[in-house]
Structure 1
Amino acid sequence: MADASAPVFTSKTDAKINLIGLTREQLRARLEEDFALEPKKARMRASQIWQWIYTHGVKDFAEMTNISKDLRAGLTGKYRLTRPEIVEHRVSSDGTRKYLLRFAPGVEAEAVFIPGVGKAGALCVSSQVGCTLNCTFCHTGTQRLVRNLTAAEITAQVLVAKDDIGEWPSSKDERQLTNIVFMGMGEPLYNLDNVSDAIGIIADGEGISISRRRITVSTSGIVPEFHKLGTGTEAMLAISLHATNDELRNELVPINKKYPLEQLLQACRDYPGVSNARRITFEYVMLKGVNDSDAEARELVRLLKGIPAKINLIPFNPWEGSGYECADWSRIEAFAEIVNRAGYASPIRTPRGRDIGAACGQLKTDSVKQRASEARRARLYGDGLSDTTTAAGE
């Protein structure tokens, strides 16, 4: 648990600008304006500061040893390098790490580092606090939307994870964090501008330097934004699919009523850069007696014909009040066999972090539940709890 007096990531009372999350151009412009630097010199200084922040992970301007003492003092007077507060840090028995981060009062989201995924390990980041999509099987979707996260707040999730696993400098060999997946809280394509800026920072070769081909954006199907995502970020695309007909998908993923399967799959075929080397991932949560039959496996194969694709089969992670059960393991394997025989890779995703509520579909800030409980107790018993116990979004 972080110190309650720790500085908040974004603060209306701190006049200093937090440099974390500024794009390169924004950082250059700030230096040019605040220190009256010539454009060429401002670019050089911006490059130096950028590398200290994103290659070395420094938290203090005093550590930027290739910058003059006078300028370091000036930077300290005007700017800060604040990380968000880590409200809770939990480590699963399987090594998965979950971070509950506070960006501002009432603005909290979760990120999850999963070792042994992709080339070495993946960080699942959030793009919103809460969600508007109300997918019926997803616990995260039961927390209503508070707001979009900024590019700075998305980028900071990566810095926090790298701090925790000792991943500095970013250029070190045998890196643990090699993949970024936008599969945490929220719908990334409802916050595409900030997601795009964050991807630009994360992928920059002079900083964190995670390849755009190792950054995946998962969407429930906000079809009009696909082209902008593909051309603007070159990120890999993942589709939260979960059903093979509109009637069932309307129930499981209500946004399907607006962008039905025919539109969604055509947008996938048209996704910029899609090829056998840049396949689209289709996520399919396995729900007992709902979407797990052999007939649905065959229909899934038919629907995806002509789309370079792989299919992630996700055992459902139960949560109280969901009304769903996970499909039997033998049923999941039979489903996978049909899809595999049709030529599609269909790995069964091993549940990770279930014991700390970090598995797929489980992300929902514990603070929301805890604070809501405290607020109810205060109303019932008048125990003097302050108004600050009311959760964001409650």
Structure 2
Amino acid sequence: MTTSLIGLTPAELKSALIAAGVPEKAAPMRTRQLWNWVYVHGTRDFSAMTNLAKDFRALLEQNFTLPRPEVVTEQISADGTRKWLLRAGGQEFETVYIPEPDRGTLCVSSQVGCTLTCRFCHTGTQKLVRNLTPGEIVGQVMAARDSLGDWPSTGENRRVTNVVMMGMGEPLYNFDNVKQALSIVSDGDALAFSKRRITLSTSGVVPMIKKAGEEIGSALAISLHAVRDEIRDVLVPLNKKYPIAELLEACRTYPGVSNARRITFEYVMLKGVNDSLADARELVQIIKGIPAKVNLLPFNAWPGSPYECSDWAQIEKFAEVVNRAGYASPVRTPRGRDIMAACGQLKSESLKARASDRYAELASAHVGK
């Protein structure tokens, strides 16, 4: 039985090599060599590691693998956004690449499905299947780089420059695996993303926020979406456990937060629900004193969604109130809507297909009556 090396820490990799028969004295050097081939060059085949001795390569072939998640489908939007439906361990999940003039952002999933049930989010309608492993999280970055021809990781003009843990799932409910994966993503001798270019998004798992700042050290984004508990209780049911005041206190004390390292508040614009100018004024009051910016997200509809997007003129007025209070308030241009790759639209394609089949069967049965 072979073992996957993707997602192992350097210490775990060294131990695996020793267990496979590499002399203990040689293991540190072999670990460094392998680490470079796997994560800097993205090498998928041990035989291509030409500076390694043939007998060592043979040992690697016999004992280990370097798998990526399988690419089930790749869709490319009219705006250049790419969405991959990936499969690993028998389950499917999605990863999205968003190219922009000054950067390329990869939106990575942490779970298959989601344990939360946020009312405006399509992923939230899919029950949690399982946590993704460190190898499956890191593997999403590697699969994207494979598809985009984006190796070596230390090269200039890389297409993927930013990683955001904003795909399927709640990252702080898969803390250990996310932490291990992001240690590889941020390792200058591995996938080589600066921690300033890695953002972890949470719906507000308050007890884990400080721990994330201390042990992961990435930028932080909060899925806020409402300024009063009675509304957020509906939009983000986790709020019943960790209400807004507790969440904002965790933001105020997030390790390393400063004007140079602001917290991002994500705020989806829902017509007649949370988009009044009174909401905007209350928003700037409740985040007062927190170095922050506010991303305003036009709602991305999905079949059966219970909300409508706010009118564009209303979004602009809302943004103006926030901006006048001294907070950057960019309105995020929806990307990849035509391939269901926009914020809040991710859901395993196979589950959507099965749901669609069931709906067709029901409709057919109804017509036959």
Q: Which amino acid aligns with 1:94?
A: D
Aligned to 2:21: 35
Deviation readout 1:159-212 (Å, 9 max, x if unpaired): 010001110111111111110000000000000100000000111111210011
Q: In the alignment, does 2:220 pair up with 1:237? A: yes
Does the 8 Å CA contact 2:96/2:107 hold for their aligned counterparts?
yes
Q: Which amino acid aligns with 2:128?
A: L
Distance in 2 separating the partners of 1:280 and 1:137:
22
Q: In the alignment, does 2:125 pair up with 1:142? A: yes
Distance in 2 separating the partners of 1:179 and 1:37:
38
Q: Which amino acid aligns with 1:57?
A: G
**Number of residue pairs matched?**
364
Deviation readout 1:248-277 (Å, 9 max, x if unpaired): 000100000000011000000010111111
Distance in 1 separating the partners of 2:173 and 2:325:
34
TM-score normalised by length of structure 2: 0.96
Distance in 2 separating the partners of 1:302 and 1:28:
51
Matches within 5 A, 1:240-255: 240-255=223-238
Aligned to 1:26: 12
Aligned to 1:385: none
Structure 2 residue runs of 5 or longer lacking an equivalent are 365-369
Distance in 1 separating the partners of 2:332 and 2:306:
21
SS of the residue 2:85 aligns to: strand
Q: In the alignment, does 2:157 pair up with 1:174? A: yes
Q: Which amino acid aligns with 2:53?
A: S
Aligned to 1:202: 185
Cα deviation for residue 374 of structure 1 reads 4.5
Aligned to 1:342: 325
Cα deviation for residue 226 of structure 1 reads 0.8
Q: In the alignment, does 2:341 pair up with 1:355? A: no
Deviation readout 1:49-71 (Å, 9 max, x if unpaired): 01101111111001111110110
Cα deviation for residue 224 of structure 1 reads 0.3
Distance in 2 separating the partners of 1:233 and 1:44:
27
Distance in 2 separating the partners of 1:159 and 1:239:
26
Distance in 2 separating the partners of 1:365 and 1:338:
37
Matches within 5 A, 1:1-394: 15-39=1-25, 41-105=26-90, 107-116=91-100, 119-374=102-357
Cα deviation for residue 375 of structure 1 reads 6.6
Does the 8 Å CA contact 2:20/2:59 hold for their aligned counterparts?
no
Aligned to 1:384: none
Distance in 2 separating the partners of 1:321 and 1:191:
28
Cα deviation for residue 82 of structure 1 reads 1.5
Distance in 1 separating the partners of 2:202 and 2:43:
33
Higher mean C-alpha displacement, 29-38 vs 344-353: 29-38
Deviation readout 1:316-360 (Å, 9 max, x if unpaired): 001121121000001000000010000000000000000000000
Distance in 2 separating the partners of 1:116 and 1:147:
32
Alignment CA distance shift 1:86-1:306 (3 Å): same
Cα deviation for residue 379 of structure 1 reads 11
Deviation readout 1:140-176 (Å, 9 max, x if unpaired): 1000000000010000000010001110111111111
SS of the residue 2:267 aligns to: strand
- Measured on the aligned residues, the alpha-carbon RMSD in Å equals 1.6
Distance in 2 separating the partners of 1:23 and 1:312:
34
Deviation readout 1:279-314 (Å, 9 max, x if unpaired): 000000000111111110000000001100000000
Distance in 2 separating the partners of 1:162 and 1:121:
11
Does the 8 Å CA contact 2:323/2:329 hold for their aligned counterparts?
yes
Q: Which amino acid aligns with 1:66?
A: N
Distance in 2 separating the partners of 1:212 and 1:220:
20
Cα deviation for residue 371 of structure 1 reads 2.6
SS of the residue 1:112 aligns to: strand
Distance in 2 separating the partners of 1:44 and 1:379:
61
Does the 8 Å CA contact 2:110/2:171 hold for their aligned counterparts?
yes
Alignment CA distance shift 1:16-1:380 (3 Å): farther
Cα deviation for residue 18 of structure 1 reads 0.9
Alignment CA distance shift 1:114-1:376 (3 Å): closer
Cα deviation for residue 42 of structure 1 reads 0.9
Q: Which amino acid aligns with 1:168?
A: W
Distance in 1 separating the partners of 2:359 and 2:4:
36
SS of the residue 2:88 aligns to: strand
